[in-house]
């Protein structure tokens, strides 16, 4: 299982003009094929009057699902170059839609490949690429006397406190990166002199 991967942090839109043709790149983070297709349909409706709505997406931490479309452009000149940009930057779970408004001047096959590649690249840059790392989520239950010490020590170890619930005891959830060099169970028990209950309750990817 992959313990880290790159993706985009937010949707973006960018404009690139080549010989009067407008190329509008929309980049969206997606987590599944349905989500990608839903976004794609929205862009098709938004740019209903465009000459082409070319797209490519890659889903899965190993690129298990990859699809693209030239949407009427000559085969291999549009969707595939957009997908190659995604693959070359090693970005996962992303959809790129490049909308073209024809400006009256033909670009030729090589010109189209360059234009769609450049538009996709600009869109990715505007979206801000981030790294996500896989973390185990631990729940720590202890008394209030330990709270301040725990918070300070966890911050010193660069561990993220995800949530704190205040009841009869304090319940704290923390994110611990996979392959973290410290045994978190032993660390917490030593820190609290055994006055804590530590449970592994799940895992998730977070932005580093």
Q: Which two tokens stand for residue 100?
A: 């073209």
Q: Which two tokens stand for residue 23?
A: 């190329």
Question: How many CA atoms lie within 13 Å of 163's alpha carbon, on the beta-carbon side?
Answer: 7
Q: Are 115 and 16 in contact (CB under 8 A)?
A: yes
Q: Could you read off the pLDDT of 92-109 as tens digits, one per residue? A: 999 999 999 999 999 999
- Assigned CATH for 132-207: 3.30.70.240
Every domain range in the chain assigned CATH 3.30.230.30:
4-127
Q: Name the region of 206 (left: φ>0; alpha: ψ -120 to 50; beta: rest).
A: beta
Q: Could you read off the pLDDT of 29-76 as tens digits, one per residue? A: 999 999 999 999 999 999 999 999 999 999 998 889 999 999 999 999
The string of DSSP letters for 112-149 reads HHHHHHHHHHHHHHHH-EEEEEEEEEEEEEE-GGGHHH
pLDDT at res. 3: 86
Every domain range in the chain assigned CATH 3.30.70.240:
132-207
- Assigned CATH for 4-127: 3.30.230.30
| Average pLDDT over all residues of the chain | 93
Q: Give the pTM.
A: 0.84
């Amino acid at each position: 299982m992959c313990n880290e991967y790159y993706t985009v942090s937010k949707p973006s839109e960018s404009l690139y003009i080549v010989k009067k043709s407008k190329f509008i790149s929309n980049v969206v983070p997606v987590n599944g094929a349905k989500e990608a297709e839903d976004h794609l349909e929205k862009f098709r409706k938004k740019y209903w009057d465009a000459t082409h709505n070319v797209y490519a997406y890659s889903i899965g931490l190993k690129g298990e699902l990859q699809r693209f479309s030239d949407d009427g452009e000559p085969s291999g000149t549009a969707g595939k170059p957009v997908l190659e940009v995604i693959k070359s930057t090693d970005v996962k779970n992303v959809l790129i839609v490049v909308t073209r408004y024809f400006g009256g001047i033909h670009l030729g096959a090589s010109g189209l490949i360059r234009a769609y590649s450049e538009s996709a690249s600009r869109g990715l840059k505007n979206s801000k690429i981030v790294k996500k790392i896989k973390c185990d989520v631990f729940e720590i239950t202890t008394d209030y006397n330990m709270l301040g010490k725990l918070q300070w020590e966890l911050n010193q170890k660069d561990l993220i406190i995800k949530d704190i619930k205040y009841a009869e005891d304090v319940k704290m959830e923390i994110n611990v990166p996979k392959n973290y060099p410290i045994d978190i169970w032993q660390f917490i028990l030593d820190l609290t002199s055994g006055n804590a209950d530590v449970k592994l309750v799940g895992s998730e990817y977070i932005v580093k």
